[in-house]
Structure formats: structure tokens, C-alpha cells
Chain A
């Protein structure tokens, strides 16, 4: 081959092919499994998802009718959880990264406890929420109790992830800001948070997804009632509980459960898209 020969990809041989094969097989396995799940849900439920399903009240324990009150309850619970959890976890992460040395005892204790809390089964948070928010603070079984319980559950996850995000901020930004005479607060609000905006949004989405999918923690905090909540002190049924109830408790609720599952996936896709849109915007 002389001049002008095309550069072709290096040919693989021996172990390379085996490694490539294993990696590809792992990818295919995961892809096919998720594909099958989504395919089944969609095939089963898509026939029920129409305008009426989105806008009507459920009838016959959800066997017929729509899920409007359930979507409303879900969005309420989720909003409370995110609005409470994000500022608190941001504050924790900023305190740990900016005011503690990474090797200090306090910061080690923080990381260990966040790790432990993040892996506590969600039903334990549900029990805590039912005793503390519902009984002790007197919020009862309500959307507020459910939202706060979810907030407590996602705070460790978000705080841990935020801490990682802030530690990865290029040292150049940090040094640059302080060398210009910036005080810590200015650095935090005008450099640290804006420069990490994309990653902050990603973490918020991670927490939102976790909260959206949560069932166990909400069973005895936000309740089962499928009526339209009038305020955050009313109980309200979220989508994941609706799915659980339809598939486990209601004979013949299977197909409607799939329809709700489609909504849940759809809802998360919408929230993610909005998040990604804003994180792109934050970059410019």
C-alpha cells in the first residue's frame, strides 16, 4: 500500500475477539431484557392509554376509567420531595466539600453515613415517615407526609452524588476565583453551583427517578386513596402504588397496571427531557 491508502481499523485477534464478544454479549443481554420488559408492558397496556384515561377518575377500583387524580397526586408527592430534598442535599454537599477537609473525621463520618442511609431499604423510611411525619408531627396519611418521606429517602443519595460533583470541579476554577479576591460565598454561588449546573441537574434527575419509582415508602405515608386530593394534607395514591395495587390486589387489573406503567415511564421520559434541555441550556 502506498500513498493514499485508507487507514483501516486495526484487525482484532485472539483475546481481543473474546473480550469484545463478552462485552457485546453483556450489552445485548441487558438490552434484550429491558427491551422485553418494555415491549410486554406496551403490548399489554397501550390499548387503554387514551385521552379519557389521562383525564378521568378511576372507576371500579381502577379496572375502568382513568388515572387523573393519581397523576396529580404523583406530581404533588414528587414536587414536595424534590423541593425539600435538593436544597438540603446541596447544602450538605457544599458544607462537606467547601468547609471540611476531605480527610477530616467529620467528612469521613458524613460519607459513611450517607452510604449507609442510601442503602437502607425504603420500607424503613416508610415506617419512619409514618411515625414521625404522620403521627408525631400530625400530618396524617397525606401527600405532605409522602413527599417528606421521599425527601428523607433521596437526600443521602443526592448529597452523596452532589459531593462527588463538587469534588470534581476543576481546581483551576477554585484557585481562579480565590486568586481574584472572591469570598467563599461568592465562589459557591457564582462559580461552584453554575459551573456544576449540568451535573447538578443529572443528580436531581437521578433522585427524581428514584422517588418516582418508590412504592414501599409511600404505602403507609401518602396512602391508597384514589380520589382527587384537595390539598397536600389529603391522602393521595401515586402511580407506583396504583400499579402495585392493580397487579397485586385487583383481579383483572393487570392490563390497567401495564397502562399505568406506560404512564410512569412516559412521565419519567418527560421529566428527563426537560432536565436535559435545561442542563444543555445551563452549559451555554
Chain B
């Protein structure tokens, strides 16, 4: 369900009031040892939408991304998070739910491909088992379906017992995406998924991300503005003020790229601040 909105609607509506968001973050503030890494960020992601998070280095983009699936407990164990996060109408943070369960519904892909140093099959099976899937008889079908979804099946179907680290960087990243899709997540978070890849692999992953949104929502942190312009529906521009990251501007990608309302956004998209 992609809802058409005009720029004026975007301007008149607060970000959190858009209809039926898949994922909604309200007033997220992250502090580490008394320092605020991120201050009061609110944004929502619609179903079947790609939301790109852009901004200079060190403005809290990745920190924000890791709060969404609570990976921040592992990446920055000492950080405290305020605010709340709602997934498909249910509050998932703060919540008594085990964060591990949440991560099956909000998957995450990292900057560097991180397949485990085992066979391709074991990589996939680990994800199924981690997601609590006990129906072992269905594993082969699920593995095939998800490797097909990332266009790797034809290349890998006879090599499932090869070690995953023997694949090329681009293949590894697509394998990681397939692995993350096994739990059937509603949202997939990408943290600069192409920055460690060569241009051809990068294009393949980018096209894949665009295909993935037909069934789920996507939040992607990227330094590549051209990439954000190509694939995203909305853009969130983060900027660091007094050492704390803030959401400066949020809007349809075209607006952020071509007619930003804020001066800092304009400077950033024109390459004047980096």
C-alpha cells in the first residue's frame, strides 16, 4: 500500500501521523555515558516503502538503525535508549518481548557481508533455527525459495556445501540478505549494504533491495546519494548538532534531493557539507 502524498501534505502533517505505518519510531534519544548520540528522532516507515537515511558521518544514522531492532544492546551495550518503537501497531520498545524475537521481524544487513565461516547451507539453516523454525523437512524448500529471491539459486544450487566465505563479496552480501529473509521479516534494515562492494555487485544488491520492497518495508542507511535517489521513496536527512545527531528533514526523496526546505539539507545534497 503505497500512499501518494503531495509535498504540501508532507509539510502540513507531522511525520508520525501518516496512515498505517509499518514501523514507527517516536522520540528516540540515545545516550552513551551522559552524551546524547541521538536526540529526539521520530519517523515512520510505510509498508512497501524504502526509507533512506542520509547524512554526514557521525550523525547517528547507524545508531538510529540499531535502535530499531534493538541490536544496539550488542553494538553499544552501555547506551541507553528513550522513546518508543511501534511495529505494525504493536509497541516493540519498550517491551517485555525478548529482543531476539523482534530481530526475526526486523532483520538487519550490515556494511560488510558477514556470512559465518561454514557452508552456505549451514548459514541458511542457522538462520532458520535461530528464528525458531523446527520443521526441518521444510528447510530445503525455504533455502531454495530465499536463495531464488536474491537471484543466487542458479549459481549456488550445486554448491550449497561450499564454504560461504569462498563466495565473492557481492554474492556473500546477497547470501546474507537471503539468510535474513528466512524468518519472514516485515522490515529489513540495511546499514550501507553496498559500501564494501565493487560497482557491479553493488548494482545487483541495489536492484535486489528495490525488488524486496514489494513484500516488506526497508530502511537503508547510505552515504551514496545517487543510490538513495534511485531506490528510496522517502529520505530522512540526519545532521549532527552540538555533538548529537538529529533528524533535520524528512520527506519524499525527490523533495529532499531537489527542493529541500532546510539550508543544511540543501548544502549536504549539493556536496557542500560532508
Question: 9 shortest A-B CB distances, which residue pairs?
Answer: A172-B114, A182-B130, A181-B104, A176-B114, A179-B108, A181-B103, A180-B130, A180-B127, A181-B130
Binary flags per residue of A177-201, CB closer than 8 Å to B gives 1, else 0 = 1111111001000110011000000
Contacts of A195 in B (CB 8 A): 116-118
Give the segment of B53-61, B175-183, B210-218, B232-240 that binds chain A: B175-183
Return the chain A residue nearest B70 by Cβ: A178
Query: In the bound complex, do residue B71 and residue A175 qualify as a contact, i.e. CB atoms below 8 Å apart?
Result: yes
* Separation of A191 and B126 alpha carbons in the complex (Å): 9
Partner of B103, one of A173, A180, A190, A194: A180
Query: In the bound complex, do residue B71 and residue A179 qualify as a contact, i.e. CB atoms below 8 Å apart?
Result: yes
Contacts of A283 in B (CB 8 A): 117
* Separation of A170 and B112 alpha carbons in the complex (Å): 11
Q: Is B75 located at the chain interface by the 8 A CB criterion?
A: yes
Q: Is A113 located at the chain interface by the 8 A CB criterion?
A: no
- Sort chain A's interface into a size bin: 20 to 34
Q: Which of B57-73 contact A (CB under 8 A)?
A: 69, 71
Query: In the bound complex, do residue B100 and residue A182 qualify as a contact, i.e. CB atoms below 8 Å apart?
Result: yes
Partner of B75, one of A101, A175, A181: A175
Q: Is A284 located at the chain interface by the 8 A CB criterion?
A: yes
Chain B positions near chain A (C-beta within 8 angstroms): 69, 71, 74-75, 77-78, 98, 100-101, 103-104, 107-108, 110, 112-118, 126-127, 129-132, 163, 176, 179-180, 183
Shortest CB distance A6–B (Å): 31
Contacts of B74 in A (CB 8 A): 174-175, 178
* Separation of A131 and B29 alpha carbons in the complex (Å): 58
Query: In the bound complex, do residue B104 and residue A190 qualify as a contact, i.e. CB atoms below 8 Å apart?
Result: no
Return the chain A residue nearest B101 by Cβ: A181
Query: In the bound complex, do residue A179 and residue B112 qualify as a contact, i.e. CB atoms below 8 Å apart?
Result: no
A173-B116, A191-B126 known; A180+B180 contact, CB < 8 A: yes
Partner of A284, one of B101, B163, B179, B180: B163
Partner of B114, one of A101, A175, A186, A284: A175
Number of contacts between A and B (CB, 8 Å)?
72
* Separation of A173 and B131 alpha carbons in the complex (Å): 16
Shortest CB distance A107–B (Å): 13
Contacts of A183 in B (CB 8 A): 98, 100, 130
Query: In the bound complex, do residue A179 and residue B116 qualify as a contact, i.e. CB atoms below 8 Å apart?
Result: no
A172-B110, A172-B112, A284-B163 known; A177+B103 contact, CB < 8 A: no
Can you list 19 residue pairs at the A/B interface with Cβ under 8 Å? A170-B114, A172-B110, A172-B112, A175-B114, A176-B110, A176-B116, A176-B176, A178-B71, A178-B100, A179-B69, A179-B107, A179-B180, A180-B104, A180-B107, A180-B179, A181-B131, A183-B130, A190-B129, A195-B117
* Separation of A186 and B122 alpha carbons in the complex (Å): 13
Contacts of A170 in B (CB 8 A): 114
Shortest CB distance A183–B (Å): 5
Return the chain B residue nearest A194 by Cβ: B118
Shortest CB distance A227–B (Å): 48
Return the chain B residue nearest A190 by Cβ: B126
Shortest CB distance A64–B (Å): 53
Return the chain A residue nearest B126 by Cβ: A190
* Separation of A284 and B119 alpha carbons in the complex (Å): 8
Shortest CB distance B252–A (Å): 29
Given contacts A179-B107, A186-B130, A190-B129, 18 further A-B contacts (CB under 8 A): A173-B116, A174-B74, A175-B110, A176-B114, A176-B116, A178-B100, A178-B103, A179-B69, A179-B110, A180-B103, A180-B104, A181-B103, A181-B130, A181-B132, A182-B126, A183-B98, A190-B126, A191-B126
Shortest CB distance A58–B (Å): 48
Query: In the bound complex, do residue B183 and residue A181 qualify as a contact, i.e. CB atoms below 8 Å apart?
Result: yes
Binary flags per residue of A95-121, CB closer than 8 Å to B gives 1, else 0 = 000000100000000000000000000
* Separation of A62 and B77 alpha carbons in the complex (Å): 61
